[in-house]
Chain A
Amino acid sequence: MNTFYTRWLGGKKGAIELAVLAVFILVVMPLWLDIFRLNLVGKYLTYAFAAVGLVMVWGYGGILSLGQGVFFGIGGYCMAMFLKLEASDPISTAHQTTPGIPDFMDWNQITHLPLIWEPFHSLTFSLFAVILVPILLAYIISTAMFKRRVGGVYFSIITQAIAAILTILVVGQQGLTGGINGITDLKTIHGWNINTDSAKYILYFTSGILLLGVIMLCRFILSSKFGRLLLAMRDKEDRVRFSGYDVANFKIFTFSVGAAISAIGGAMFTLQVGFMSPSLIGIVPSIEMVIFAAIGGRMSLIGAVYGTLLVNYGKSAFSESFPSLWLFLMGSMFIGVVMFFPNGLAGLYDVYMKKWVEKLAMKVKKIAVPGKLNSVKTEL
């Protein structure tokens, strides 16, 4: 229990923060918002997966990956392929030239299901694919790069190029991936309709709980010796290497974990929104995921969630009323976060709010258990 408390929940401070977030997502939001807006928030929560992944990879690992959209997209597409096959059973597609295959393949005059789609008939395989394919890709990329000590800016640009390539590939292979339209019109998962209101509620809660679980997992990883090494590596890589550790392996591991987390987000996105499109794979969405993490505080897992929600809320609200103003705002946010608020919302919280919260906690504690003092732990 003690290990669980300190390492998974992050001690008293961490547990409180996690609890507040949990209440916010799982209780406040569903009560406050109607199902349409809640569904939107559910979508934002899936972006938060990528942001949390980036906190691991970038905030702690020092690797600025500008291609998280790639992994988000792969997870999303794997799930979409399964759902699409389920929605394309021979009965509902009887009007097509070739029944039993997805509609976009029919429009592209394809007459039988491509080999690569066949395994996605199985839910188990698809679920494994959602996690394993991105990990595999991340492993290959990061091994090739980190073993040769390519880092920093070079790596970022290459992740960008990979995002660009994947977009071109997906858009170009219309018969295989639905092209620029994406894979649309998804209906059921194992017979359960994902489009009803009750389904939306269930999926929302599932995303929320999964997100909290992922945060706890990351906390666990970071609170181990590995977490300390990661921080050391980010700041002074050579010294860690001289101490005998294989820096590359740590980076590869972190990058792969980040990829898997993003992929889960992608799969949940497909389930909640009902389709998947290449506009989530490319350079622009990948950089947006970075800004979510940056605004939330690149070192704060919880902050990443708030950052994502805030930025996306702003996007919806502003783009409706002031579309031109929004782009100025977003650009300034990038600059502002880099120049003035490097630790984002979490940093602001630390500077302004934490004192009050701690005082409050102390007061409560004093009243509750007089004589016992709190020790301040490093926050995760």
Chain B
Amino acid sequence: MGGYSISDLWSILVMQGFSGLSLFSVLLLMALGLAIIFGQMGVINMAHGEFMTIGAYTIYMFSKVTQQYFPSLMPYYFVVAIFAAFGIAFAAGYLVEFLLIRHLYKRPLDTLLATWGLSLIMQQIFRTVFGAREVSATLPDWLMGAWKPTPDIDIPLNGLFVMAISLVVTAAVVLFLYRSSWGLKVRATTQNRIMAGSVGINTKKIDRVTFAMGCGIAGIAGATFTTIASTGPTSGSLYIVDTFLVVVFGGAGSVIGTVASAFSIAQAQSILTFFLTNAMGKVVTLMTIIIILMIRPEGLFRSKVRKH
């Protein structure tokens, strides 16, 4: 096929498979935060991309400070910075929920518009503080380069890193939702808000924390992005449509749905962009998703949610 030898084909398979997995982790991280928010509260947060950008800029700031004042700590700053990215995005999300979102729960379409306005404001803040130019964090050495299991196969290390992070984060989310008392309260509120309230759960607080968590995860996603792309004020808007489609395709509110959706979309896009050109691969993927959604609008996995 196309003049490749058998060992070539094997290498292609491995490397493409890995690219697909890599893309899968990226999509998963982006979509997880949004799925939680959407599933929990029916809120579409158009500023999700901007929370990712918060995480990315956090890494950038840490990288600059470390380089300037603590150059010996370069190999370590990254992990610390990821936690910081979560924290800052979490705090920002908490604030936004308190100021804006909680007034709009019954009006999902209006939330969409209001959060779009929020994203514009956030983009302008980024532009004013960090400048219009794109910036890059200096990555620690252990993230660069590739792992070579065989001479023909190069697995980029930062791809492995991103995969590891998404596994950890997904596991943490699942544990949180299904094994902790907070998670119990969250699930109760999702399934039947009124009953949960009557049982004594502070649904408002739950909503706030859930939203903030979704934003925090977005922050982590943005932080991992600094390993593959640069950051600018409008970086968030590059991924927002993909993220939404992953969430909607997976069936909102379902973690399994998000995982399955991210996996299938990533693999499809990866394979298609190998055989077709880059642009056409993307278009075909998007169109297939839309057609499938038209046939099965509730997505892959529907979760039992009572309509608000």
Contact = CB atoms under 8 A, between A and B. Distances in A.
Direct contact of A and B (CB under 8 A): yes
A332 B114 CA distance: 9
24 contacts: A148-B297, A153-B109, A153-B112, A154-B297, A156-B112, A161-B245, A161-B290, A162-B290, A165-B290, A172-B279, A287-B113, A327-B120, A327-B121, A328-B121, A331-B117, A331-B121, A331-B122, A333-B117, A334-B113, A334-B120, A335-B117, A338-B104, A338-B110, A339-B103
A165 B113 CA distance: 21
A157 interface: yes
Contacts of A144: 294-295
Contact of B121 (A152, A287, A332): A332
Interface in A160-207: 160-162, 164-165, 168-169, 172
A169 B277 CA distance: 13
Interface of B: 42, 44, 100, 103-104, 107-114, 116-124, 127-128, 241, 244-245, 248, 279-280, 282-283, 286-287, 289-290, 293-295, 297
B241 A164 contact: yes
Given A156-B112, A162-B290, A331-B120, A168 B279 contact: yes
A169 B159 CA distance: 29
A364 B276 CA distance: 72
B124 A165 contact: no
Nearest to A291: B113
B280 A172 contact: yes
Contacts of A335: 100, 114, 117-118, 121
A331 B248 contact: no
A337 interface: yes
Interface residues of A, number: 39
A38 interface: no
B280 A161 contact: no
B283 A165 contact: yes
Given A161-B241, A168-B283, A172-B283, 8 more contacts: A153-B109, A156-B112, A160-B241, A327-B120, A327-B124, A327-B127, A331-B122, A339-B100
B244 A64 contact: no
Looking at B104, B120, B293, B295, which has the most chain A CB atoms within 10 Å of its CB? Answer: B120
Contact of A324 (B122, B128, B245, B283): B128
Contact of A331 (B109, B119, B244): B119
Contacts of A70: none
A150 interface: yes
A105 interface: no
Top 7 closest A-B pairs, CB basis?
A: A334-B117, A331-B120, A331-B121, A144-B294, A150-B297, A327-B124, A172-B279
